[in-house]
Chains A and B, each alone.
Chain A
Amino acid sequence: MEFLFNLISGISLGSIYAIIALGYTMVYGIAKMLNFAHGDVIMVGAYICFFATMRFGMPPLAGVLLSMVVCTMLGIIIERLAYKPLRQAPALAVLITAIGMSYFLQNSAQLLWTSSPKVFQSVVGTINGQTGLKLFDGALSVSYVTIVTIIVCVIIMLALVTFVNKTKTGKAMRAVSEDKGAAQLMGINVNTTISLTFAIGSALAAVAGVLLCSAYPTLVPTTGAMPGIKAFTAAVFGGIGSIPGALIGGILLGIIEIFAKAYITTQLSDAIVFAVLIVVLLVKPTGLLGKKVSEKV
């Protein structure tokens, strides 16, 4: 029973990592850059939804849609102002810019919304006054937020895979991902394609932010930072750039973290999580589902 409880806790935590990792991996897979500001776009998304529903009394779904719209615009603006001018610059410059953008968003949020924590009201409602599904006469409970998160994760994953593989724009994205120069020669607008990738990634961030705060309701300007890093780890674990890999990596990371806490020690849980990551990367350097790309010389 305790094992089941821990497994469910692990899946709950992992599903949150997975949904954040989807955005990370999507942007990395196509634009080939690590958007470290992703975690902070999540935070902005959560704040927008918080103010929409709590202050202006909008229904939860409208709040989620509004925060998706705001985050999409924010993502496009960030890309235009911070990353686009660096298209020809070395990857390291872009990486540092992304870290800078992350701090910029955190500090702006502190100025705008102050650092005092806010408690997010779950957008997932209750059924018969219960916040979760009770199993085994109430000995175990799976919260509805977890169920919704997993369903949303799978839907997003399927939608992204279909979009990238079946549509024309998706084809353009794959082309840009493979070779920017060649894609441009083939008449693909590289800038628009990358902007679109950021727009989609940021809209996903808004959804992730809302679900993150529905599960763990304390909202502060640094809310997105640590889950962002963990989700990045999850994306690497599953094979960065691979969309199904993000889902699997996220859930596995959550389960390992909870099991490490429960069966080894709470003091070392993060160290154990990262030790597992190192072992996986030693055995399979591209991550669980990563593609091996052979470089032509």
Chain B
Amino acid sequence: MKLKKVLAAALIGAMTLTTFGCGGGDADQGAADQAGDATAIKVGGTGPLTGGASIYGIAVQRGAEIAVEEVNALGGVQFELKMEDDAHDAEKAVNAYNALKDWGMQLSLNSVTTTPGIATSELNAADSIFGLTPSASGTGVTEGKTNVFQMCFADPNQGSASAKYISDQQLGTKIGVIYKNDDAYSSGIYETFKAEADALGLEIVSETTFTTDSQNDFSVQLQDAKNAGADLLFLPMYYDAASLILNQANAMDYAPKFFGVDGMDGILTLEGFDTTLAEGVMLLTPFSADAEDEMTKNFVAKYQEKYGEVPNQFAADAYDCIYALHQACTAAGATPDMSAEELNALMVEQFTTMSFDGLTGEGATWGENGQVSKDPKGMVIQNGAYVGM
């Protein structure tokens, strides 16, 4: 009897929680619905709006919303945006994609993260709905599909670009690498980094790993790099692990140059983090909120005013996606009454031929494999802010 009561209470609790979650999402989507009208091209995307990776999904949703408002105000091709929650889960993403298809999605932002993106990009290809993912960087998202494109760098490109950059700028002679070997993002970058470094003759003196389970203590890895005399430490990982490495390196008086990838973005806004530890950390990133150009300043100001925080790279990627789609639609003379299939053919043609200037890089072009090619910006952290190198 008692057991039943507890179970009932737990279920009610769970339902209340989920309704909360849905409530937030619905309100946002309602606003988007009202903004659009029947004369707009319907753009849909899935992303983690709840759960552990929600920081990325929400950033993409917000960045895209700002861009849609702006392009609609221009008066040309009109967009209507809808984001569905996939909670960074491939199965939920497929359901979310199908919901968007029922809604009448004509162009797709695919998914925000890689694992769901691999699942939904298959559907993009099967349904001939053009997909442009802002941030799903895995190669599996674009591989084997003719109509799925990426706005962000594919993971492996970051590794080789980093090696090239380090070699070109002569940043270090003995290189240490710490990577997360149970994470496709981190080990993917590491592999291409190593291949490129070997080709360029960079000497890698220390290679160590960690996993989600041992993401606390880096003393052994740092000691190994220190003993090997590494003067530059390459850290292809997200900022949460990197912040611990910086902290522990400081505690053991080891101060090599640190070089990160786009996952390092966010370390300065980490609540409670002593940003002096990140002083001099270098990273290749396509977007910096502190850049001085008009476009970035305008975007950052709008984002801060609307949502009260500094946009990250995901928001900028999403913003660029909408503008790139807008540019392609305008050039191809796309209209809202076209079917998804007709738009698909036009978009593929445009994306493989056009060049796009956005927040995350100028003169971006796409290959037939859907991967973007643009120059990453080298950034270094000085006085708690990103400065171009």
Identify the A interface with B (CB < 8 A). Answer: 2, 5-6, 9, 12-13, 16, 50, 54, 81-82, 85-86, 89, 107-108, 110-111, 114-121, 131-132, 138, 141, 143, 215-218, 220-222, 226-227, 230, 257-258, 261-262, 266-267, 269-270
Does B191 count as interface, using CB distance less than 8 angstroms? no
Give A222 to B53 CA distance when docked, in angstroms.
Answer: 13
Report the separation of the CA atoms of residues A13 and B243 in the bound assembly, to the nearest whole angstrom: 18
Q: Does the CB pair A119–B220 fall under 8 Å?
A: no
Q: Which residues of B contact A (CB under 8 A)?
A: 2-3, 6, 9, 17, 20, 51-55, 181, 208-217, 219-221, 223-224, 227, 239-241, 243-244, 247, 251-253, 270-274
Inter-chain CA distance A116–B243, complex, in Å, is: 13
**Minimal beta-carbon separation of A87 from chain B (angstroms):** 10
A117 to B263, CA, bound (A): 14
* Residue among B208, B219, B272 making CB contact with A9, cutoff 8 Å: B219
* Contacts A/B (CB < 8 Å), 18 sampled: A6-B223, A12-B219, A86-B3, A89-B3, A110-B51, A114-B54, A116-B270, A141-B251, A216-B217, A217-B244, A217-B272, A258-B220, A261-B208, A261-B220, A261-B221, A262-B223, A262-B224, A270-B211
Contacts of B20 in A (CB 8 A): 111
Neighbouring A residues of B54 by C-beta, 8 Å? 114-115
Q: What are the residues of chain A within 8 A of B53 when measuring CB–CB? A: 115
With A217-B247, A266-B220 already in contact, the answer to whether A116 and B271 are too (CB < 8 A) is yes
A-B contacts besides A116-B271, A257-B217, 20 pairs, CB < 8 Å:
A2-B223, A2-B227, A9-B217, A9-B219, A12-B217, A12-B219, A89-B3, A107-B17, A114-B54, A117-B243, A119-B273, A222-B52, A226-B215, A227-B216, A261-B208, A261-B220, A262-B223, A266-B208, A266-B221, A267-B181
A76 to B373, CA, bound (A): 57
Contact across chains for B51 and A115 when beta carbons are under 8 A apart: yes
Chain B residues lying within 8 Å of A143, measured Cβ to Cβ, are: 251
Complex partner residue of A111 from B17, B208, B220, B227, CB under 8 angstroms: B17
* B240 / chain A contacts, CB cutoff of 8 Å: 117, 218, 220
Cβ-defined contact, A132 with B217, below 8 A: no
In the A-B complex, list the 8 residue pairs whose CB atoms are closest, starting with the nearest: A119-B272, A9-B219, A119-B273, A216-B216, A261-B220, A118-B271, A117-B240, A266-B208
Is the CB–CB distance between B220 and A118 below 8 Å?
Answer: no
Chain B residue with minimal CB distance to A223?
Answer: B216
Closest to B207 in A: A266
Q: Which residues of B contact A86 (CB under 8 A)?
A: 3
For B217, give its contact among A13, A85, A111, A141 (CB under 8 Å). A13
Is B55 a contact partner of A116 (Cβ separation < 8 A)?
yes
Note all chain B residues with C-beta closer than 8 A to A118.
270-272
Report the separation of the CA atoms of residues A255 and B55 in the bound assembly, to the nearest whole angstrom. 36
Query: Are A138 and B253 in contact, with the CB atoms below 8 A?
Result: yes
Chain A residues in 8 Å Cβ range of B55: 114-116
B13 to chain A: closest residue by CB: A104
Return B376 CB to nearest CB of chain A, in Å: 24
* Complexed CA–CA distance, A117 and B2 (Å): 38
Nearest chain B residue, comparing its CB with the CB of A97: B6
Q: With both chains docked as a complex, state the minimum distance between the C-beta of A124 and any C-beta of chain B, in angstroms.
A: 12
Report the minimum CB–CB distance from A256 to chain B (whole Å).
12
- Residues on B with C-beta less than 8 A from A218 are 240-241, 243-244
Query: When A85-B6, A110-B52, A138-B253 are in contact, do A119 and B216 touch as well, CB less than 8 Å?
Result: no
User: Which residue of chain B has the shortest Cβ distance to A122 in the bound complex?
Assistant: B247
Write out the residue numbers on chain A whose beta carbons fall within 8 Å of the beta carbon of B17: 107-108, 111
A85 touches B208 (CB 8 A): no
Given A111-B17, A258-B217: A119 touches B274 (CB 8 Å cut-off):
yes
- With a cutoff of 8 Å between Cβ atoms, the chain B residues found around residue A116 in the complex are 55, 270-271
Let me know if B214 and A270 touch, CB within 8 A: yes
Residues from chain A with Cβ under 8 Å of B211 in the complex:
270
Tell me, rounded to whole Å, the shortest Cβ–Cβ distance linking B92 to chain A. 15
A5→B223 contact, CB < 8 A? yes
User: Would you call B271 and A119 a contact (CB within 8 A)?
Assistant: yes
| Shortest Cβ gap from B187 to chain A (Å) | 11
Q: Write the nearest CB–CB distance from B60 to chain A, whole angstroms.
A: 15
Task: Please determine whether A9 and B213 come into contact, CB atoms closer than 8 angstroms.
Answer: no
Residue of B nearest to A130 (CB): B251
Q: Are B251 and A132 in contact (CB under 8 A)?
A: yes
Q: B274 contacts which chain A residues (CB < 8 A)?
A: 119
Q: Which B residues are in CB contact (< 8 Å) with A230?
A: 213
Closest chain B residue to A101, Cβ basis? B10
Highest count of chain A CB atoms <10 Å: which of B20, B53, B209, B215: B209
